[in-house]
């Protein structure tokens, strides 16, 4: 097992996607070291766990985004689905544990339903995914603002039920509860994508839509299901976020559109569909959130972060695009 | 009589004019609806003041829609339009100066900056062969960041004379700008580059084998988009008489709404800039109608989103129907 030769052979043996996932984890380790240089204490266990917990919010949204990007689609409706979910959970439960279960079901159902509506728009009505989900984002924004009276409604000040707050803040065996939840989601999605007909159909549709139709796959149902899952994970992220922060606020979903797409791209999925894995998006989410934390530790202003995100996405797109053409 | 070519020039032309006819009808209906509502709530018909202010209010969106058209025609999408408008708005509020010469120079430089930013988008899409959505999403973040860097808080000032020139509240001078935009489209449409835009969006391989360079065409499309978006930012700043590095954000969505309402196909190769300009006016009329129907402005983006979906479905459905008919006849 000596040195570089083996490593090169291992890297060459990986698929391009696998290699990118590895790069993302490698970049994360470097970023943590950089963070440690900028601010001692950055690499302490508590801080690392906090960063991972924050990465979970991005990771949940990126799960749904991965699903739709795998079939060459995109979900631009996540910001206001997430925001609506956070507000719906707080208002419908009124902050009471007694109503928590019903509120959770209602909120997750809302997310899934909005996603399904996106899927129907894309498949049945033939609206381009960008336009359908962009319009849905507007629809959810208008509904959320309108129904909550711009967050002036009586119930809008409600806190998340203590149960949900406990889920977001609790810990088990020294590991924060949200990370256990994330692990469960990772396991579930990996199983869904790798070991089920639904998952194989997803890759097939992303690779060649026409061929999938001819092969008798249930293309429409699969696509609608994938958009439904994207709505569901965005709603779940909203629930965890309101549990974490206690109260919902307007605009809390805005950063998650860009970050979820960035996480998927960093994780090496092809934006044209058919290639990628959720583990890549997980790596992307952790890498991105670590980068944000380092930038924050360096007191970088918001505009600077915005510019750096954009530049990183462009650089990665150029690198990966080149690799795809070479290979 | 069997299997006629789906893209015959006749059917193609008709489908294009169908989009224009539809948006004209939509504009007529919404103007009548607006007039009726105005009469019912205000006790009189809207007059010259309402006409002028509607024209002035629509100018930024009409320009943003025209900008979006350039890119959509090539089967692309420009999500960075909002960011370019933000930047141009912020720059205008800071650097217009007070003399006529400084205003003219600063305006020209801002338009040039918009064109350069658009060129960057175009280069990434055309040379990098990257998906337009991702490229312009990334550059949107960069442009917005730059705009906030330049103008962290709303402020600055746009000189009175500049506002009077672009946004005259006394008389409907904006009509002149609308006509100029339409004339620009009419000339572009008949030029080599206009034909190339449509051809590349319709079928890139076919256009390429007919001697049209897709790379150059896309570069021009994104550059024009950036230039026209910067003009939208100038109008926006003139309207507000001050700068705000975030007011442009909404134009990414509404420019797509205007384009779709205007009958420009999101699958490229079909559509008219005039349609997108009229689509912008329909959007303004809808906002006016919502206002006079006493619908809570908080719901505005709900109606815009719903309207966008309905418009896409109807436009694509009708277009397909007509093309099929023509093909069969």
pLDDT in tens, B143-164: 999 999 999 988 888 888 888 8
Q: What is the pLDDT of residues B165-174, one digit of tens each?
A: 888 888 888 8
Inter-chain CB proximity B253 and A74 less than 8 Å: no
Inter-chain CB proximity A313 and B141 less than 8 Å: yes
Q: Is the pLDDT of residue B11 over 80?
A: no
Residue B257, classed as helix, strand or coil, is helix
**Cβ contacts of B301 on chain A, cutoff 8 Å:** 138-139, 141-142, 145
State the SS3 of chain A: CCHHHHHHHHHHHCCHHHHHHHHHHHHHHHHHHHHHHHCCCCCCHHHHHHHHHHHHHHHHHHHHHHHHHHCCCCCCCHHHHHHHHHHHHHHHHCCCHHHHHHHHHHHHHHHHHHHHHHHHHHHCCCCCHHHHHHHHHHHHHHHHHHHCCCCCCHHHHCCCCHHHHHHHHCEECCEEHHHHHHHHHHHHHHHHHHHCHHHHHHHHHHHCHHHHHHCCCCHHHHHHHHHHHHHHHHHHHHHHHHHHHCCCCCCCCHHHHHHHHHHHHHCCCCCCCCCCCHHHHHHHHHHHHHHHHHHHHCCCCHHHHHHHHHHHHHHHHHHHHHHHHHC
Mean pLDDT throughout A173-189? 87
Interfacial residues of A (vs B; Cβ cutoff 8 Å): 74, 121, 125-128, 130-132, 134-143, 145-146, 149-150, 258, 261, 265, 271-272, 301-307, 309-311, 313-314, 317-318, 321, 325
- State how many domains chain B has: 1
Euclidean distance between CA atoms B179 and B277, whole angstroms: 10
pLDDT class for A322, splitting at 50, 70, 90? low
Domain ranges of chain A: 57-283
Residue B43, domain member (yes or no): no
Euclidean distance between CA atoms A67 and A201, whole angstroms: 12
Interface of B with A in 113-142 (CB under 8 A): 124, 128-131, 133-135, 137-142
Angle at A91 between CA A86 and CA A94, to 5 degrees: 120
Euclidean distance between CA atoms A28 and B33, whole angstroms: 57
Q: What is the pLDDT of residues B219-239, one digit of tens each?
A: 999 999 999 999 999 999 998
Q: Is the pLDDT of residue A327 over 80?
A: no
Euclidean distance between CA atoms A76 and B258, whole angstroms: 19
Out of A126, A272, A307, the one facing B146 most closely (by C-beta) is A307
Nearest to B314, CA basis, from B23, B68, B62, B65: B23
Running DSSP on this structure, what letter comes out for residue B21? H
Q: What is the pLDDT of residues B239-261, one digit of tens each?
A: 888 888 888 888 988 898 899 88
pLDDT given for residue A56 in this prediction? 92
Q: CA neighbours within 13 Å on the CB side: how many for A296?
A: 9
Q: Is the pLDDT of residue A313 over 60?
A: yes
Question: Which residues neighbour B243 within 8 Å (Cβ) at sequence distance 6 or greater?
Answer: B89, B90, B91, B92, B93, B94, B151, B154, B155, B156, B158, B237
Interface of B with A in 191-250 (CB under 8 A): none
**Cβ contacts of B264 on chain A, cutoff 8 Å:** none
Distances (CA, A) of B146 to A304, B142, B277: 8, 6, 28
Q: What is the pLDDT of residues B96-137, one digit of tens each?
A: 888 888 899 999 999 999 999 999 999 999 998 888 888 998
**Cβ contacts of B306 on chain A, cutoff 8 Å:** 135, 139
**Cβ contacts of B137 on chain A, cutoff 8 Å:** 258, 261, 313
Which CATH number does the domain housing residue B81 bear?
A: 1.10.3470
Question: A interface mutation test: which of B90, B127, B142 has the most A CBs within 10 A?
Answer: B142
Query: How many CB atoms are located within 10 Å of the residue B206 CB?
Result: 12
pLDDT given for residue B88 in this prediction? 96
A173-191 burial by CB neighbour count: b if 16+ within 10 A, else e?
eeebbbbbbbeebbeebee
Q: Is A81 exposed, middle or buried (0-12, 13-18, 19+ CB in 10 A)?
A: buried
Q: What is the pLDDT of residues A204-221, one digit of tens each?
A: 887 778 788 787 778 788
**Cβ contacts of A84 on chain B, cutoff 8 Å:** none
How much is the mean pLDDT over chain A?
83
Residue B3, domain member (yes or no): no
Residue B254, domain member (yes or no): yes
Question: Which residues neighbour B171 within 8 Å (Cβ) at sequence distance 6 or greater?
Answer: B52
Residue B248, domain member (yes or no): yes
Tally the residues of chain B.
329
Question: A interface mutation test: which of B305, B307, B313, B315 has the most A CBs within 10 A?
Answer: B305
Question: Is residue A86 a contact partner of residue A104, using CB atoms and an 8 Å limit?
Answer: no
Q: What is the pLDDT of residues A21-79, one digit of tens each?
A: 787 788 888 888 888 888 887 778 888 888 888 899 999 999 999 889 888 888 999 99
Residue B197, domain member (yes or no): yes
CA distance B160 to chain A (A): 30
**Cβ contacts of A307 on chain B, cutoff 8 Å:** 141-142, 145-146, 149
Interface of B with A in 306-325 (CB under 8 A): 306, 308-309, 312-313, 316
Mean pLDDT throughout B292-309? 85
| Portion of chain B with pLDDT greater than 90, in percent | 43
Mean pLDDT throughout A107-121? 94
Residue B151, domain member (yes or no): yes
Cβ contacts below 8 Å, chain A against chain B, sum to: 132
**Cβ contacts of A137 on chain B, cutoff 8 Å:** 305
Provide the domain limits for residue B164: 18-37+48-328
Nearest to A39, CA basis, from A287, A294, A288: A294
Mean pLDDT throughout B55-84? 94
CA distance A147 to chain B (A): 8
**Cβ contacts of A121 on chain B, cutoff 8 Å:** 309
Euclidean distance between CA atoms B255 and B51, whole angstroms: 21
pLDDT given for residue A237 in this prediction? 93
Out of A139, A306, A318, the one facing B141 most closely (by C-beta) is A306
Distances (CA, A) of B316 to B22, B171, B322: 12, 38, 10
pLDDT class for A2, splitting at 50, 70, 90? very low
Inter-chain CB proximity B299 and A321 less than 8 Å: no
pLDDT given for residue A321 in this prediction? 65
Ranges A136-145, A245-254, A255-264, most confident:
A136-145
pLDDT given for residue A95 in this prediction? 73
Out of A146, A307, A314, the one facing B145 most closely (by C-beta) is A307
Inter-chain CB proximity B134 and A317 less than 8 Å: yes
Mean pLDDT throughout A175-201? 86
Inter-chain CB proximity B134 and A125 less than 8 Å: no
């Amino acid at each position: 097992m000596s040195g570089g030769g083996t490593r090169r052979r291992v890297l060459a043996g990986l698929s391009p996607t696998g290699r990118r996932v590895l790069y993302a984890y490698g970049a994360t380790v470097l970023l943590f070291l950089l963070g440690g240089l900028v601010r001692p204490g950055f690499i302490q266990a508590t801080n690392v766990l906090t960063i991972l917990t924050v990465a979970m919010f991005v990771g949940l949204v990126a799960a749904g985004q991965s699903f739709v990007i795998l079939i060459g689609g995109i979900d631009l409706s996540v910001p206001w689905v997430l925001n609506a979910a956070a507000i719906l959970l707080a208002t419908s439960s009124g902050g009471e544990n007694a109503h928590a279960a019903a509120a959770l079901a209602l909120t997750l159902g809302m997310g899934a339903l909005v996603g399904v509506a996106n899927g129907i728009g894309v498949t049945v009505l033939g609206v381009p995914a960008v336009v359908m989900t962009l319009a849905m984002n507007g629809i959810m924004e208008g509904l959320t603002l309108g129904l909550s009276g711009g967050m002036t409604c009586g119930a809008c000040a409600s806190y998340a039920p203590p149960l949900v707050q406990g889920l977001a803040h609790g810990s088990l065996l020294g590991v924060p509860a949200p990370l256990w939840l994330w692990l469960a989601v990772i396991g579930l999605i990996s199983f869904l994508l790798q070991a089920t007909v639904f998952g194989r159909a997803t890759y097939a549709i992303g690779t060649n839509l026409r061929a999938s139709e001819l092969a008798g796959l249930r293309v429409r149902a699969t696509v609608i299901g994938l958009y439904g899952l994207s709505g569901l994970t965005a709603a779940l992220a909203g629930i965890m976020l309101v549990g974490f922060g206690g109260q919902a606020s307007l605009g809390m979903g805005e950063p998650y559109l860009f970050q979820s797409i960035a996480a998927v791209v960093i994780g090496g999925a092809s934006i044209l569909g058919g290639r990628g894995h959720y583990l890549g998006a997980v790596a992307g989410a952790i890498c991105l959130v670590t980068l944000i934390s380092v930038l924050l530790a360096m007191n970088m202003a918001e505009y600077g972060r915005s510019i750096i995100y954009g530049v990183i996405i462009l650089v990665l797109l150029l690198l990966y695009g080149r690799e795809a053409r070479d290979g | 009589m069997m299997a006629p070519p789906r893209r015959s020039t006749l059917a193609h032309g008709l489908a294009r004019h169908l989009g224009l006819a539809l948006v004209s009808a939509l504009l007529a209906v919404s103007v009548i609806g607006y007039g009726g509502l105005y009469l019912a709530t205000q006790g009189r018909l809207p007059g010259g003041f309402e006409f002028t202010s509607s024209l002035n209010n629509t100018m930024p969106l009409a320009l943003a829609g025209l900008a979006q058209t350039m890119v959509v025609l090539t089967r692309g999408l420009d999500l960075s339009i909002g960011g370019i408008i933000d930047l141009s708005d912020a720059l205008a509020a800071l650097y217009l100066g007070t003399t006529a010469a400084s205003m003219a120079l600063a305006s020209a430089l801002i338009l040039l900056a918009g064109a350069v930013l658009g060129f960057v988008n175009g280069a990434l899409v055309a040379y990098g062969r990257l998906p337009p959505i991702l490229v312009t999403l990334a550059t949107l973040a960069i442009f917005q960041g730059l705009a906030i860097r330049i103008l962290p808080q709303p402020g600055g000032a746009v000189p009175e004379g500049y506002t009077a020139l672009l946004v005259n509240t006394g008389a409907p001078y904006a009509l002149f700008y609308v006509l100029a935009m339409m004339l620009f489209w009419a000339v572009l449409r008949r030029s080599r580059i206009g034909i190339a835009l449509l051809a590349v969006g319709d079928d890139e391989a076919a256009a390429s084998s007919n001697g049209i360079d897709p790379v150059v065409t896309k570069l021009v499309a994104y550059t024009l988009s950036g230039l026209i978006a910067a003009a939208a930012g100038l109008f926006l700043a003139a309207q507000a008489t001050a700068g705000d590095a975030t007011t442009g954000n909404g134009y990414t969505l509404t420019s797509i709404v205007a384009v779709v309402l205007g009958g420009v196909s999101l699958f490229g190769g079909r559509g008219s800039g005039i349609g997108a300009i009229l689509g912008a006016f329909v959007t303004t009329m809808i906002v006016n109608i919502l206002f006079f129907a006493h619908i809570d402005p908080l719901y505005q983006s709900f109606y815009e989103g719903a309207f966008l979906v309905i418009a896409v479905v109807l436009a694509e459905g009708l277009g397909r129907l007509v093309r099929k008919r023509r093909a069969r006849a």
